[in-house]
Amino acid sequence: MKTNHEIDYCVYGEEMQYVEIELDPQETAIAEAGAFMFMDEGIQMETIFGDGSKQQTGFMGKLLNAGKRMLTGESLFMTAFTHQGFGKAKVAFASPYPGKIIPLDLSQYQGKIICQKDAFLCAAKGVAIGIEFQRKLGTGLFGGEGFIMQKLEGDGMAFCHAGGHVMKKIVKSGEKLRVDTGCIVAYTQGIDYDIQFIGGVKNTLFGGEGMFFATLTGPGEVWLQTLPIARLASRILAYGVGPRKEEGSILGGLGNLLDGDGA
């Protein structure tokens, strides 16, 4: 018998997706602040301390878990949406930037998924959202954001968001997959996560891909994204600061003058 609330859902959209969750009376969905899109009449919204799971018993337990969430850059509070009426009612949560929503039935993954700290979107009540430290020294020193990740535990539905296109890859036992750290969305608990130095003077100085990448060793499943939010933000920032580069244009700066960007 499941301990988490059992919810029905449907994901809509292509590049900017949202997930619509159908709740029976007294069923609850939890979400990060800012993910809410709309809800039917009869659903009550409440800000809660922590994630509302049974793992957070007592004030000190809630405080400890909420403090861990702060290390992942998340808020101390989450929002719970409970159906207080009759029949069925729907609540929807939207993706924060272009990409895909990944539905994860935790009961099919031995009750645990590890994901990037900004990937979690929403879940059924009872799913515990905690912190996962990578224990290896190299990962801690050079892993960057990959050193501190989130773990989703329980036997209910959870939803993560990824940027761009999403690839699900099965990694066999002993098989290694080398990945840019920002492209990792989530992986199952059987995956061994480590950081590897790229090596080579030219690669380090001129490669443009950073000095390290993640090594994921199976067995397990991995979800990868083509557009990490940090990569998207850096491109937008580079485009908006300083004079614009007109790639392939023989006019160059003159083109900027002609289209009104010469000021």
Q: Domains of the chain (ranges plus CATH)?
A: 8-227 (3.60.160.10)
Using DSSP's 3-state secondary structure scheme, residue 64 falls into helix
Alpha helical stretches, state H, 5-57: none
212 forms beta bridges with: 197
Question: Burial letters for 122-147: b for 16+ Cβ neighbours within 10 Å, e otherwise?
Answer: bbbbbbbbbbbebeeeebeebbebbb
How many whole angstroms separate alpha carbon 120 and alpha carbon 129?
A: 9
243 band by pLDDT with thresholds 50, 70 and 90: low
105 band by pLDDT with thresholds 50, 70 and 90: very high
Q: State yes or no: pLDDT of 193 exceeds 60.
A: yes
Q: Which is it for the CA torsion 188, 73, 90, 81, positive or negative?
A: positive
Q: State yes or no: pLDDT of 254 exceeds 80.
A: no
pTM for the complete prediction?
0.79
How many whole angstroms separate alpha carbon 218 and alpha carbon 226?
A: 21
Residue 243: φ, ψ to 5°: -65, 145
The residue with tokens 């080579």 is 200
Q: State yes or no: pLDDT of 244 exceeds 50.
A: yes
Using DSSP's 3-state secondary structure scheme, residue 163 falls into strand
Rg (CA), the chain: 21
Q: Are 244 and 261 in contact (CB under 8 A)?
A: yes
Q: Are 196 and 213 in contact (CB under 8 A)?
A: yes
How many whole angstroms separate alpha carbon 69 and alpha carbon 57?
A: 16
Q: What percent of the chain has pLDDT over 70?
A: 71
Q: What is the pLDDT of residues 46-74, one digit of tens each?
A: 998 777 776 555 555 556 665 555 555 56
Instruction: Give residues with Cβ within 8 angstroms of 15, minimum separation 6.
Output: 98, 99
Alpha helical stretches, state H, 117-242: 137-142, 201-206, 229-240
Window from 33-42, 92-101, 199-208, 231-240 with minimum mean pLDDT: 199-208
Q: Which of 170, 73, 62 lies closest to 118 in space, CA to CA? A: 73
Q: What is the pLDDT of residue 186?
A: 96
Q: Which of 150, 262, 139 lies closest to 212 in space, CA to CA? A: 139
Using DSSP's 3-state secondary structure scheme, residue 115 falls into strand
Q: What is the pLDDT of residue 49?
A: 78
